[in-house]
Chain A
């Protein structure tokens, strides 16, 4: 066994362990902040797995999108609203846990079945594209994957407009959640420097 293969196996083992332990930690940890940071670790290790598969562009995109944008926003939101409060105890917590666990186990078994029955085409040194993958991804995005790509961008645009509507409450006269008239004091005024009004 050559040194390169040994290194790959060690890296793969460490990365998969981090992914598994981290993912379990995200679900089971009580502290939401720890969960969010562990999620970042899981995303990073997944990027490492992509690197092992010679997909460096996908790995960098994974880091940029999932760690740099999604995870940062999650942590940002948690920290903006992070109040130390005791959560109300839920009555039928046991039955809820049983139901959610059974759903998760079913999904997992489905995934394992797919993994075992599907015939995976393994990359050989002949058909691996390596550094050329960036160009290939671009070609695919503008040819056969054009429609999904555009639909995804429309989805993002819709989410963005929705977020702006929610954030700028002066668009609506009534609060969506309560039905009460919107407190106009909360709406951002056009900012004028304090000193200009003094004279």
Chain B
């Protein structure tokens, strides 16, 4: 399966043509994909914010933003600019250091997790061996940032919000990790590239969603809970807690929370599409199409074409899931904190354990379908 574009190799060869050593070329290469992914994440957030405003308006029979640009597409940029130039307020009795460090600790792990999101065979920052496990580990850092900002604000609503966020995040991490484990069991690898390649055999039919329907639903519920999206947005429940841990924040620090939660939503949607919906795979295998059209798969034109189809498919699947998440947010009521914890510990945890056991059994019984 080792085909596809290798931009890093071509870039290094290109720079070597100018007489630059491969080590220096590597250092020049390193920041490029990182910057690209960072820009992609931020643009993704702008698109999601616009979608959120438009879809919520449609759900409530309003028009939504319409004056900033055509159909209000510039509205998120206006929002961002507004937050950028707002005064940065630190409450007099707040703990200045922790108050500032909190939002950073929330945002950084989320952005770091983009390291493992593949958009194609070689289109990711780093194919680390621990792959998806890195994301699980990094997402467990986030509650510390939430607790930190909740505590440092010196406000009872903030503290309650922070505590709720931590409790929620801890209890939903376990079923999340267990459903990822079932996928890893089928793939025999933690790497996201291997997970997608394992699903690429027969197009849409070989996607993991058919083999792991329970895992898919558990993962999606847990991902929504980890993103603190409604119906699980208890840490910032407006009617009870003002805005939870964000209550005292203003300006760019508030924007960091905002950015973090939206980047996390897009990241979760991307990971669902990678784990269960075949990642960059087209519903009909690209090899099959090229064979039908009598085109060799290794010609540069076909390679560029398949790579761009891969990116489009990944983004399309992710935004379909983002759309479902937004629709859920504006149509479902919020659960209570005890219902939330009950759902996590008494329902999702046993179900994901049973799913893991079942997957292991099926893998032994039908190794050709469930990964040998």
Contacts and interface: CB of A to CB of B under 8 A. Distances in A.
B137 A63 contact: yes
A75 B23 contact: no
B338 A75 contact: no
A172 interface: no
Nearest to B142: A68
A18 interface: no
A72 B143 contact: yes
Interface in A94-110: none
Given A56-B130, A76-B166, A37 B138 contact: no
Interface stretch (B6-14, B43-51, B144-152): B144-152
B353 interface: no
Nearest to A67: B141
B141 A63 contact: yes
Interface string B151-195: 100000001001100110110010000000000000000100000
B217 interface: no
B128 interface: yes
A12 interface: no
B137 A68 contact: yes
Given A56-B128, A67-B144, A134-B190, A72 B138 contact: no
Nearest to A7: B27
Interface size class of A (residues with CB under 8 A): 20 to 34
Interface string B12-44: 000000000001100100000000000000000
Contacts of A69: 140, 170
B140 A75 contact: no
A79 B140 contact: no
Interface in B273-298: none
Interface in A37-72: 37, 40, 44, 56-57, 60-61, 63-64, 67-69, 71-72
B134 interface: yes
Contacts of A67: 140-141, 144
B140 A191 contact: no
Contact of A79 (B134, B137, B147, B173): B147
Given A67-B144, A131-B129, A72 B170 contact: yes
Contact of A68 (B151, B173, B190): B173
A91 B98 CA distance: 33
B330 interface: no
B151 A33 contact: yes
A76 B163 contact: yes
Interface string A77-96: 00110100000000000000
- 6 nearest A-B residue pairs (beta carbon): A68-B140, A131-B129, A60-B137, A64-B137, A63-B137, A56-B130
15 contacts: A37-B144, A56-B129, A60-B133, A60-B136, A60-B137, A61-B137, A67-B140, A72-B140, A73-B170, A75-B147, A76-B166, A80-B163, A130-B129, A134-B129, A134-B190
